[in-house]
Amino acid sequence: MQRKAILSLTLAALLLTPLIASVGAQEVKRFRNIDPIPKPPSHFNVFVTDHVMPGPCMNGFVIEPLAFLNRDNGTWFPWIATDWELSEDKLTLTVNLREDVTWTDGATLTSKDVLTTWYCLNIMKNWQWDYLESVEAPDDYTVIFHLKEPWIYTEYYLMQSDVSAPYSVYGNFSDAAQEAIEDGDTDRLSELLAGLTAYRPQELVTTGPFRFERLTTSDLLYVKRDEYWHGIDNIKFDEYLQIHLGTGPSEFAGILSRGGDLCSPDLTREIYEELQATDEIYVPVESWHHGQSLIFNTQKYPLSLVEVRRAIAYALDREEMSIAVSPHPDMALWPDYPTGMLVGDEYIWIDSDYLEEYFDKYEYNLDKAIEIFESLNFVKGADGIWVTPNGTRLEFDIISAPWTDWALSCENTKLQLAKAGIAINVYATEPITCVQVPAGDFDLAYFCILRRWLPLPTETFQYGFVISWAEGIGTYNKIYEVPEIGMVNATEWARKLPTVFDEEEQKRIITALAYIANHYLPYYAMREKPCTYTYNVYDIVYPPEGDPWYKWAAYSLYDALGYYVLNGWIYPTPPEVVPPEEVTVEVVPAWVYAVAGVAVIAVVAAAIVVMTKRT
């Protein structure tokens, strides 16, 4: 059956391939990225969600950073900034700007644009202002960031930040915000928040080499500018096209048929094996530096009982789920001690004796889960589902983004917990997790609280204990008892961690927060995800297989892509390399892939029927 499923997808790809434009042979050289797009009509306010610049566009193509950072090896590449210096006391970051950067409206970028960007972020209550005191511009090409206290990530975050708000478009908001802050006028700041959120500029003014052209229900198009400060001739693409195919079969059909040059899918095992069999699509496998955690609403009975959360943890076989939803068993990764940190991080930051004595691996133990329920005087109903003493059934909704392995994880969780007498209703449709969890409107959810893209494991604790997610989960400002450490306000400690430079104190804080995550289980780290980006190496010249560039891409795909495209190091395959029989036509509309996806499903279903009849 698996073989027939693969063959059916191959057939769909072969049917579509003649319709696909060969980038190298096109008169218009187009980079095609298969990725979600905003829903039309969208808008041009860069500070409000659903604007016309999804993530890929904001990493050099359209909006540009002060500097690029190769997050894999720590190498900096100055960009809008020429250089910068962090003061000895780590309270001042002075940045010098290039003097030849121009906006698409013809204006020259100056320090006022950087101030405008940051004071609009202040209006929008951007979390980085927790660490910033003020931003000033002593002259047209110097910006000084003043910090409230030393911050480990000063350069990491501030220098990678985009200059996205020209003074000509947002200056009135920025000027008013600076005055309100100086006067301590919080009411005025609230008015500015409402005004900036409602503001809709008439055009998109940016500094990158591509300008906005159109947005439809199926694609987003940017075209190359006539002039660009870094050299427009360095960029070998005339257009950047982002194609919306959804997830699953339609996306897979687009990848297999070379309907896109880049995609960041969650591959099924069948599709991964099919891609491994072709030399036209390269799939390097790296850690994605994040993974899935099962989040509990600790404010909602009976999930408010830590014993119930522990019973669920024992009832879930993390190894089984990791293998079931990964493209290959060798890519199945799960931490020994679930804390929200990446695999193996617990051994780096936590003393081994303390780890063994106080932390739980939650190894699969269905009997232990049942024992916990019985100790709470739960009884099984006639349908086999546990019922609490007050009559509440252990039936929960689980929400998740619809990405392939996430949806599979929800279904696997449902099957596993059914064995433990827990009913699960799966809602893996739209990416609603990011809205409902912070609002506390959920029972269970899958999200990547298991994460670390930074040198320290601060991000997992930010999501678990500090930002709006913590309020929805029920951990915000909550006090926990930690062995040998004492009473800990997890929110305060997690907020403090990025300001601590002493390694021993860092380990103490990380140990305490990891213990809270492990022992009190506001979230349960299930699996670390492999990064399986797909690169169309037939139509596009990428770095060679195994090149260190792919490790940078695994950390930050669009930073790496942007830097290489802007320098001309990723480019269309030269025409002479493309076989002469290659047919050149317009790019297939997204609906074609959707139809192909339906066809694939139909073929697979038919194959199942045939196999069933034969057996």
Is residue 585 pLDDT above 50, yes or no?
no
pLDDT of residue 6: 43
Beta carbons of 132 and 145 less than 8 angstroms apart: yes
Please tell me the pTM assigned to this model.
0.84
Distance CA 43, CA 487 (A): 47
Is residue 25 pLDDT above 60, yes or no?
no
Residue 186 in tokens: 């919080």
Considering only 47-61, 385-399, 545-559, which range has the smallest mean pLDDT?
Answer: 47-61
pLDDT tens-digit readout, 471-520: 999 999 999 999 999 999 999 999 999 999 999 999 999 999 999 999 99
pLDDT of residue 59: 83
Pick the closest to residue 30 from 54, 3, 71, 61 (CA basis): 61
% of the chain at pLDDT higher than 90:
81
Distance CA 72, CA 549 (A): 9
Domain 288-530: homologous superfamily in CATH? Dipeptide-binding Protein; Domain 3 (3.10.105.10)
SS3 339: coil
**Exposed (0-12), middle (13-18) or buried (19+): which is 229, by Cβ within 10 Å?**
middle
Beta carbons of 94 and 259 less than 8 angstroms apart: no
Fold of 64-198: Dipeptide-binding Protein; domain 1 (3.90.76)
Is residue 588 pLDDT above 50, yes or no?
no
Pick the closest to residue 66 from 559, 570, 561 (CA basis): 559
Pick the closest to residue 288 from 526, 73, 518, 450 (CA basis): 450
Residue 159 in tokens: 């220098």
pLDDT of residue 246: 81
pLDDT of residue 577: 54
Question: DSSP alpha helices (H): ranges in 428-555?
Answer: 433-439, 458-461, 468-473, 490-496, 503-520, 549-555
Widest distance between CA atoms in the chain: 80
What is the average pLDDT across 9-29? Answer: 48
279 or 575, higher pLDDT:
279
pLDDT of residue 589: 52
Confidence of residue 578 (pLDDT cuts 50, 70, 90): low
Side chain identity, residue 484 = E
pLDDT tens-digit readout, 109-119: 999 999 999 99
pLDDT of residue 603: 40
Please state the domain extents for the chain: 2-24+210-285+532-547+571-606, 64-198, 288-530
Distance CA 435, CA 440 (A): 9
Relative to beta strand 444-451, strand 395-399 is parallel
281 or 583, higher pLDDT:
281
Is residue 70 pLDDT above 70, yes or no?
yes
pLDDT of residue 58: 73
What is the average pLDDT across 327-342? Answer: 93
Is residue 600 pLDDT above 80, yes or no?
no
Residue 518 in tokens: 């492990």
pLDDT of residue 19: 35
Name the class of domain 2-24+210-285+532-547+571-606.
Answer: alpha beta
pLDDT of residue 254: 95
Residue 604 in tokens: 């697979």
Pick the closest to residue 589 from 13, 8, 20 (CA basis): 20
SS3 198: helix
pLDDT of residue 247: 76
Mean pLDDT over each residue of the chain, to the nearest integer: 90
Pick the closest to residue 467 from 494, 488, 505, 485 (CA basis): 494
Distance CA 171, CA 132 (A): 20
pLDDT tens-digit readout, 153-185: 999 999 999 999 999 999 999 999 999 999 999
